[in-house]
């Protein structure tokens, strides 16, 4: 591995110089990271602060701090039972959708990654087709299918198509990760009498926690923000999800932008909390490393 570069490395500077350079490099990393973070945050801060103004303020002067601070947008939303209903609906659908997508996709990705059989690539390509096809055009046939299954106005009527359309992305991401688990492990397990399914559940899945956490987060976020599918499947407003709820602040000719900003800021919070929580799984996956040489 270490080729001609070793000659350069051998010119070791003094220990102090190296430590100074390391602290300097570390600070630089901090600076870059935090500048990028702030730049990333600005639009979000704008949305949060915008919720504390009213639409009139926003239109009169788009760039200004709230003056006066309007709390009624946020408090009004937090007090309304409709909002919490929608949070519940969104959560339920997101969880069901993810609980369907990830295991089903993992099973399929396992097959694609660790079995060899004729037509494997064909099946894999068929699954990637779902990724290549825009959901919006499929919405008319999907609606009919959901209706035929009797799942209109039913959370499952949203979760099932979402899971189906989430399969391609999840399989595509899981497959290389599953493949990189060395076959020695599987061979050893087989010797111990462990069939593919037990290997899958007992060994592969626990080892894949980082990537499973990743695809779960992606599935939840995708479901959380989905608009078109819940719109056509859910008619009774009691079953509405958050993205549908935000349309309450728009009308035929006018939009209450401030309320929209407040609403969507609040909608973002549960998804972010979930991500922060799943984050720890991602980190924990590092320490229980699959691959120790």
Partner 1 sequence: MRKTSRAVAALLAVAALVVAACGGSDDDKTSSSGSAKTSSNKPVTINWWHIANNDPLKTIWKNAATQYMAAHPNVKIKITVLENEAFKAKLTTNMQAGKPPDIFQSWGGGTLKEQADAGLVKDITEPTKPWISTLNDAGVGLYKIGDKQYGIPYNLGLVGVWYNKKLFKKAGIDGPPTSWNEFLGDIQKLKSAGITPIAVGEKDKWPGMFWWANLSLRVAGKDAMAKAATDGGTFTQPGFVEAGNQLKKLIALKPFQQGFLASPWDGAGGEAATVGNGRAAMDLMGQWAPSTFAANTKDKKGLGKNAGWFPFPTVDGGAGQPGEQFGGGDGFAIGRDAPPETVDFAKFLVSPAVANKGGASGAILPVAKGTESSVTDPNMKAVLDARGKASFVQLYLDQAYAPAVGQAVNDAVQQLFAGKASAEQVSKKIADAAKAG
Partner 2 sequence: MPPRPVRPTASVPAGQAVPPSRLAEPVSVQVDKRRRGPGPRDRQRARRSRVARKWVAIGLFLLPALALYCLLVVAPIFQAFHYSGYKWNGLSSPTNFVGLDNFKRAFQDDVFRGALKHNGIIIALSLAVQLPFALGIAWILNQRLKGRALLRVLFFAPFVLSEVVAAVVWSLMLQPKGLADHTLDAAGLHSVIHDWLADPSIVLYSVFIVVSWKYFGFHMVLYLAGLQQIPKELEEAAAIDGATTRQIFRYVTLPLLGPTIRISVFLSIIGAIQLFDLVWVMTGGGPVDASNTMAVYMINHGFKRFEFGYASAVAVIMLMISLVIALTYQRFVLRRDIQGALTTQGR
Sign of the CA dihedral 257, 263, 268, 271?
negative
Judged by beta carbon, residue 151 or residue 278, the one nearer partner 1 is 151
Does the protein bind partner 1 through residue 148 (CB under 8 A)? yes
Judged by CB under 8 A, does residue 228 bind partner 1? yes
Burial class (CB in 10 A: 0-12, 13-18, 19+), 1: exposed
Q: Which stretch binds partner 1 (CB under 8 A): 35-43, 56-64, 94-102, 190-198?
A: 56-64
* Member of 82, 183, 255, 288 binding partner 1 (CB under 8 A): 255
Least separation in angstroms between CB 207 and partner 1:
34
Residue found by looking up tokens 């659908």 in the block: 93
Least separation in angstroms between residue 248's CB and partner 2 is: 13
CA distance 100 to 227: 19
Could you say which of partner 2, partner 1, none residue 224 binds, taking C-beta under 5 to 8 angstroms by partner kind?
partner 2
What part of residues 230-249 is at the interface with partner 1 (CB under 8 A)? 231-232, 235-237, 244, 247-248
**What span, in angstroms and rounded, lies between the C-alpha atoms of 103 and 282?**
18
The answer to whether residue 180 forms part of the interface with partner 1 (CB under 8 A) is no
User: Residues with Cβ < 8 Å from 74, sequence gap 6 or more?
Assistant: 51, 52, 262, 266
Instruction: Pick the closest to residue 147 from 158, 133, 162, 134 (CA basis).
Output: 158
- Is 47 a binding residue for partner 1 by CB under 8 A? The answer is no
Closer by beta carbon to partner 2, 15 or else 132:
132
Number of residues that bind partner 1 (CB under 8 A): 35
Is residue 252 near partner 1 by the rule CB under 8 A?
yes
**CA–CA distance, 206 with 198 (Å, rounded to integer):** 12
Within 10 Å of residue 231's Cβ, how many Cβ atoms?
16
Binding of residue 149 to partner 1 (CB under 8 A): yes
């Amino acid at each position: 591995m270490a080729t001609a570069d070793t000659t350069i490395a051998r010119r070791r500077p003094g220990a102090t110089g190296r430590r100074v350079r390391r602290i300097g490099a570390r600070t630089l990393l901090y600076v870059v990271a935090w500048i990028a973070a702030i730049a990333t945050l600005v639009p979000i801060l704008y949305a949060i602060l915008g919720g504390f103004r009213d639409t009139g303020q926003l239109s009169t002067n788009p760039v200004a701090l709230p003056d006066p601070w309007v709390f009624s947008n946020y408090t009004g939303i937090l007090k309304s039972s409709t909002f919490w209903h929608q949070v519940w609906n969104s959560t339920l659908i997101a969880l069901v959708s993810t609980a369907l997508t990830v295991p089903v996709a993992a099973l399929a990705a396992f097959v694609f990654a660790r079995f060899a059989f004729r037509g494997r690539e064909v099946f894999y390509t068929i699954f990637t087709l779902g990724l290549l096809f825009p959901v919006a055009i499929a919405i008319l046939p999907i609606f009919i299918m959901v209706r035929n299954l009797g799942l209109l106005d039913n959370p499952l009527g949203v979760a099932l198509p979402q899971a189906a359309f989430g399969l391609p992305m999840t399989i595509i991401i899981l497959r290389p990760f599953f493949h990189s688990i060395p076959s020695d492990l599987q061979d050893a397990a087989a010797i111990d009498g462990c069939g593919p399914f037990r290997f899958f559940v007992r060994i592969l899945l626990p080892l894949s926690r980082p990537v499973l956490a990743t695809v779960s987060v992606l599935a939840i976020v995708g479901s959380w923000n989905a608009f078109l599918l819940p719109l056509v499947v859910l008619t009774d407003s009691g079953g509405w999800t958050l993205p549908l709820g935000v349309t309450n602040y728009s009308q035929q000719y006018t939009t209450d932008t401030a309320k929209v900003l407040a609403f969507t800021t609040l909608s973002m919070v549960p998804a972010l909390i979930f991500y922060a929580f799943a984050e720890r799984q991602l980190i924990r996956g590092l320490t229980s490393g699959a691959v120790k040489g």
